[in-house]
Amino acid sequence: MDLGNYGKNKPVTFGQVLNRFLLKTLQIILGSRIPSTLPHGWNGEVKNSDKWYNLVLGHRFATMDDLCSWTRTLTEPMVIDIILVRKSKSFSIDMFKDVILERWIICFESQKSMMTCEICGVSCKKTYKKLIILLRSVYSILRLLPAYQAFRKLSSLQKNCGFDIKYNVCSVSGAFSEPQESMKGYSFVPVEAAQGRFGISVCYREDLSDFNMDGFVLHPLEIISDYVDSPSPSSNSNKSSSTIRKVSRDAKQDSGFPNFLYSLRFPYFGSSRISTKSSLIVDSFGDSDFSCPFIVDDTDPLDGQASLKLDGTNSAEVSLKSQDAAVGAVIRLLRNAPPLQQDPHCYNKLEKEDGAASESKLCKPRKTSDGLEELKLYRNMKDVLLAKNAALRCIGKI
């Protein structure tokens, strides 16, 4: 799309250039990583909005329209995590936890009080040309990074694949749960503009051989009717014990970033876990409002794992008398807590497992009594934790 010819009755503003840059980058990345974004029965129709940065992509996905007004603040970075997620529990425990394959950070550093309504002049058009080149190289490099092979495998196997690739978009770049040495970085040369600087960088997992993705193909269950040899009971229990010990160890050894907090700090789009920023402005090209409260994920990846004991029994009963149990109770409370922000215009959109969007629903306003009940619960939790702490101190003094 040539800036000079775009909507001759509508002059292009710098704010649009920036907004569309972020959108196009998101579209390029997700189109190269998330199979569910591939068009089904796309008739090849090209809209004006597709022509931005002279790169026509056929990818459409539900959250794209919602994310059209993502950067209302414009100066906050857009962090896109590409995450490998296991789909079935029948695989090796080693492949149990979700893994960040790539983290893309797209940012604009404003150098002065930026006027987003500033009409694009000669300088802006030069910037636009450089951004076209930048986006070309992002498109190319996405095909050279290791995660592309995972995307291709998933695209070809689809439902028969034992893993899935999800994405997460937010403005917070939290700590990796993986060792840093497994990640490699690449930064594109920033594009300087009169209004600020555009930057794109990526941290990516260099080696995916640990995941043995060829072994992720799902197979139908078979009953071996004439199986002769069977392992001895003792070897079975040893194996299950060692497996359980490994699960417990893994659950505890997430390097400073437990999985249950992951969903709190990383709002999710394009998966079952959704949350966004609130109070966004309508894009002038007809993109709809999208504001969502912060919603805690209600699926705890540690469900059934952290509670396993070394003897293999599942301790479903959590006693409030133990400190660990109290912590677990707090965690469950946080998981089930309603949204923190109660914007009357907010809504949340839940996606089904196959990626299709379900109906929206409005958040219900909370009453004072709800808040008081919650406060009581927090007080009880606090009392339990303090009592336990005091008991431990007494024991220590004996």
Partner 1 sequence: MNCEVCQLKELDVEHFEIREVLRCILHTILFHRALGLVRPKDVDLELFEITYVQCGDAELERKVDEKIDQFIDRVEKHPNKKTQICISLYEVKNKQATWFTNKVERHHWEYWYINLNVAQHPKGHSSKSHSSKVVVDPEDTAAEARRARRAALETSLRDVLFQIIRFVNEKKDHVPSIQNLDGMLFPYEITISSSSDSAFGMDMFKRMLQTGHPTMLS
Question: Which residues are near partner 1 by CB under 8 A?
Answer: 1-2, 4, 51, 54-58, 125-126, 129-130, 132-134, 136-137, 139-141, 143-144, 148-149, 152, 188-189, 191
Query: Residue 189 Cβ, how far from partner 1 at the closest point, in Å?
Result: 4
For partner 1, the closer of residues 42 and 378 by Cβ is: 42
Q: How far is the CB of 209 from partner 1 (least distance, A)?
A: 13
What is the closest distance, in whole angstroms, from the C-beta atom of residue 285 to partner 1 in the complex?
18
Choose between 152 and 309: whose C-beta lies nearer to partner 1. Answer: 152
| Gap between the Cα atoms of 381 and 371, Å rounded | 15
Burial class (CB in 10 A: 0-12, 13-18, 19+), 106: buried
Q: Which two tokens stand for residue 33?
A: 């990583």
**Beta carbon of residue 300, minimum distance to partner 1 (angstroms, whole number):** 37
Q: What is the signed CA dihedral for 5, 10, 12, 15, rounded to 10 degrees?
A: -150
Shortest Cβ 3–partner 1 spacing (Å):
9
- d(CA 31, CA 134) in angstroms, rounded, equals 17
Task: Find out whether 293 and 363 touch, Cβ atoms under 8 Å.
Answer: yes
User: Shortest distance, CB of residue 173 to partner 1, whole angstroms?
Assistant: 22
Tokens 């009080």, residue located: 113
Query: Which of 57, 337 has the CB closer to partner 1?
Result: 57
User: What three-state secondary structure class fits 158?
Assistant: helix
Tokens at residue 228, please?
């002769």
Report the C-alpha gap between 99 and 184 in whole angstroms: 14
- The residue among 152 and 376 lying less far from partner 1, judged by its C-beta, is 152
The tokens for 257 are 């970033």
* DSSP labels, 207-221: --GGG-GGGGB----
Q: How far is the CB of 267 from partner 1 (least distance, A)?
A: 30
Query: Whole-angstrom Cα distance, residue 12 to residue 124?
Result: 10
Find the shortest distance in angstroms from Cβ 109 to partner 1: 17
Tokens 């940012």 belong to residue: 107
Nearer to partner 1, 17 or 134 (CB): 134
In whole angstroms, the minimum distance from the beta carbon of 125 to partner 1 comes to 7
Quick one: 4 or 338, whose CB is closer to partner 1?
Answer: 4
- Would you say 65 and 18 are in contact if contact means Cβ atoms under 8 Å apart? no
Could you give the C-alpha distances from 84 to 46, 81, 139, 153, in angstroms and in order?
31, 10, 20, 12
Locus of tokens 């209004």: 195
Pick 74 or 132: Cβ nearer partner 1 = 132
- What Å distances lie between residue 141 and 20, 32, 54, 82, 294, CA to CA? 20, 10, 18, 15, 33
Q: Which is nearer to partner 1, 137 or 236 (CB)?
A: 137
Between strands 163-170 and 78-86, the pairing is: antiparallel
Residue 73: alpha-carbon gap to chain centroid: 20
Nearest residue (CB) to partner 1, 75 versus 149:
149
Q: Please report how close the Cβ of residue 78 comes to partner 1 at its closest, in angstroms.
A: 19
Crossing angle between the packed helical segments 122-142 and 14-31, to the nearest 10 degrees: 10
Secondary structure (3-state) at 9: coil
Our CB check for partner 1 shows the closer of 54 and 315 to be: 54
